[in-house]
Structures are given as structure tokens and as C-alpha cells.
Amino acid sequence: MRIGDQVQEYYCNSDGRFELVGPKGVVIALEEDMDGYTDKVTVRWETGAIEERNPGELEEITPKLYVNLYMHDRAYGGPQEGGWWYDTYAPVSEEDAEWEHAKPPKFGLFATEAEAEDARNELEGWCNLANETRRSPSSVLSEGHYVAMLEAWPAEYQPSSRPFYC
């Protein structure tokens, strides 16, 4: 979740399904704990009310118009408890990559969510073919795996900073 995201409250109904309820809102502030995880979200609702909420009570409803291509790999976090690793996602652009296989289908910004979903499905198929000869990110010999994601923003490095062991 990030500042500017559109959100709506959700709850679990008697059938065990989650339903969006109440007014829509915009995230205006985030409070993180010492490990960098979002602890509290400040929302300005359509009604004008401003509230602090637990991120688990909110569903992000920002339109997902970006199909982003990432290189998913693992990075060494440190020696604590016998060593630990964390996942990384580095954006791949059409200009940066030296394609081992055929160039991937179009990715980036799309006009509608339906177009973006279709493009992600096509790009996912390409990723599966491209990853057939690549080692898993859990291997020390890995050079990463291509991953297609449908998101509400342009591709960016994830995580944005190195996590700390706690």
C-alpha cells in the first residue's frame, strides 16, 4: 500500500466471502514499524472524514493498469540464525534486457484493466517459456526468474530498501 492508493473497507460475510463495504477513500499517510512494515494507514474517506486504520481492514482498489516485468531473485540478508535470504524484484525494461528468447509481448501502461489483464496473461506465458532454462531463485546459481505482475504503478525495485533481521 502507498500514499495516493484508493482503498475500501472489507469484511467477511456469513458465507465466508469478503465484501467491500462503505465509502471509498485515499491513503494520505502510512506509519511503519521498525522493520519497515506498514503498521497504520491514514485514510481520507469520500465523506471527508480522516481515520487511522489497520492495513488488514482495507482493500486496495486502485485500478491496476500497469503490466510490469520483473527479474525475481533472492539476496543474502545476513548470518543471523544460520543465514537468511529475502526475495528481490528488479524491473526489466525493453531497452535494458538482452533477450535470450524471443522479445516479450507488450508490457507497461494500458488503457483499461481488461486490456492489462489480457497483456499480463500473455506476458506470463512468455515468462514461463523464458524461465524453463533458468535455475530457480532458491538456487545459489540462479540468475533470476522473469515474473509478470499487474500493478497500479510503474515497475519499481522491491523491496525499496534492504530488510533487517529481527
Q: What is the pLDDT of residue 96?
A: 65
User: Is residue 134 within 8 Å of residue 127, measured between CB atoms?
Assistant: no
Q: Which of 102, 147, 106 is nearest to 127 (CA)?
A: 147
pLDDT tens, 50-89? 999 988 889 888 888 999 999 999 988 888 777 888 889 9
DSSP 13-66: -TTS-EEEEEEEEEEEEEEE-TTS-EEEEEEEETTS-EEEE-GGGEEE-----E
Q: What is the pLDDT of residue 166?
A: 64
pLDDT at 98 > cutoff 70: no
pLDDT tens, 126-166? 999 988 888 888 887 888 999 999 998 899 998 877 777 66
Q: Mean pLDDT across the stretch 84-103?
A: 79
User: Is residue 72 within 8 Å of residue 144, measured between CB atoms?
Assistant: yes
The domains located in the chain, with CATH, are 6-60 (2.30.30), 66-151 (no CATH)
Residue carrying the nine cell digits 523464458: 130
Q: What is the pLDDT of residue 97?
A: 60
